[in-house]
Amino acid sequence: MVAIGMPGAHPAQDPAAPARRGWGARIGDFFGLSSSWTRPRPPLERRDLVLVAAVMGIGLFALELVRSVGAFEDTTAPVWGQWLAVASGALLLLWRRRHPLTVGILAATHMFVVGVTMPMVMGQMTLQVAYFIAFFSAVAWARDRRLMLLVVSGIVLFMAGWLLWQFTLGSGVQEILDSIKGRRRWGAFSPVTAGVLLTFLVNLIFFGGAIGGGQFSWRSARQRARLAEQAETITSQSAALQRQAVLDERLRIARELHDVVGHHVSVIGVQAGAARRVITKDPTTATGALEAIEASSRDAVNQMRGLLGTLRDIEGSMPADGSAEAGHRAPEPRIPDLPTLVAARRAAGLDVSYDLVESPEGAAEALPGPVSLTVFRIAQEALANVARHSTATRAGLVVRVRTEGPSPHAEVEVLDAGRPRPGTSGSGLGQLGIRERAQSLGALVDIGPRATGGYRVRVRIPLGESHVRHGE
């Protein structure tokens, strides 16, 4: 006879579970009753056929060996019935993963029927292995964990009741007494006590091992599924981050191109118009305007090379003299370069005043590169917009940098007193670029007409503690 172990006889302790949780909650956690994960139903595979064939072949071969030594001399069941019992028990394993609970119930029924009609056949090792695999699979592959616990508990209780009946009302005790008749006894227990305890111990190990092993298999499968899902999520998020990084870099380059090209084309346009008007009347002035165009175009080319250098790895092909012909990346403009920008705008005909307010002195020089570049580009785009879209002939540029006090910040403000110039409505990309630059640094943006007339562009960039202490 084979045996019985109550589910939950050895519940696993959850280290994360509170110490005062009841046994019911612990058993529920162990069997995954509250888990939303469902183990996938696998298809019928070759290994299922191999397992059935192996168990059936070995079982029938072992049955004939046992019959050949005369172990079944008292068995009245026909030989074909013995063969059928072994073959049908092995055949159940074919569906153990697709229909685990059904196979578990049929295995328990098979064990009971064969145990009553052919106890010697039921006790064969091969059939016991088949029953163990069936009960193991019922726990490991059941998708409804509550139904699994109900079915397995029912099987265990039924088998326990069967054993109790055997030893109380059946022939179990008499069989033990008959087996020791004429033999000397050496143990510390009486034969009946030892036989009963040994039977229950074997059954406890049998069913407890099947239930515990099956639950371990189910939990391991769940963990593997979660790890696979997490790996897929990480892969998907990594790909999304890479795509976002590429998009952000494209947007950054687009903003740089717009600011560089917009500024220099605006200067070139104004100077070209001035040269055209005075080329016959005042050649000297025209020559100065053409020189400004040349300088602005050269500056634009150098800055364009710097931007293109971020797209191509060309450092290895640079000539030994470090010339810019191989794509030398010029340094990015910063706040100290604003006087040059202002001078270019003044030369283009826009009277620009510039003020730098620092606290303490030298704070602007210590700003991190991204912040300083952002301030420069915002000032550049704002002044270009004044020249292109406003009737103003004067503009004011103020940069305020404060790294001391409760709210350290860098602020750039461009003011003009003009009105929108007719027929010069732009695409809005300039202001969009300003807002995107500001957003990337968590800045506050104020863009729009003033109540007193004119237009204001003001951006305040908060400076973190690292900016203040380390200037990076």
- Six token digits for residue 271: 């100077």
pLDDT, greater one: 31 or 52:
52
Q: What is the mean pLDDT of the chain?
A: 81
What confidence score (pLDDT) does residue 103 get?
A: 95
pLDDT at 66 exceeding the cut of 70:
yes
Kindly report the number of other CB atoms within 10 A of residue 155's CB atom. Answer: 25
- Tell me what pLDDT residue 396 has: 93
Give the whole-angstrom CA distance, residue 350 versus residue 14. 75
Count CB neighbours of 119 within 10 A: 13
Tokens of 39: 């183990």
- Write down the pLDDT at residue 262: 62
Quote the CA–CA distance of 244 and 224 in Å, as a whole number: 30
The structure tokens listed for 314 are 């060309």
Which comes out higher in pLDDT, residue 189 or 113?
113
pLDDT at 261 over 70: no
Residue type (1 letter), 150: L
pLDDT class for 110, splitting at 50, 70, 90?
Answer: very high
**Residue of higher predicted confidence among 278 and 83:** 83
Instruction: Look at strands 394-402 and 409-416 and give their pairing.
Output: antiparallel
Q: Confidence band (pLDDT; 50, 70, 90) for 402?
A: very high
> Can you read off the two tokens belonging to residue 22?
């009841």
Residue from 80, 85, 135 nearest 114 by CA: 85
Q: Distance between CA 326 and CA 313 in Å, rounded?
A: 11
Instruction: Identify the helix (H) or strand (E) that includes residue 219.
Output: helix 191-278
Is the backbone peptide bond immediately before 408 cis, with ω within 30 degrees of 0? no
Q: Please tell me the predicted confidence (pLDDT) of residue 13.
A: 46
Global pTM reads 0.55
Task: Give 228 or 313, the one with higher predicted confidence.
Answer: 228
The CA distance from 192 to 110, in Å, is: 27
- What is the second-level CATH architecture of the domain 334-472? 2-Layer Sandwich (3.30)
In the chain, where are the structural domains located?
A: 23-237, 334-472
What would the DSSP string read from start to end of 319-343? -TT--GGG---PPPP-GGGHHHHHH
Instruction: Tell me what pLDDT residue 138 has.
Output: 94
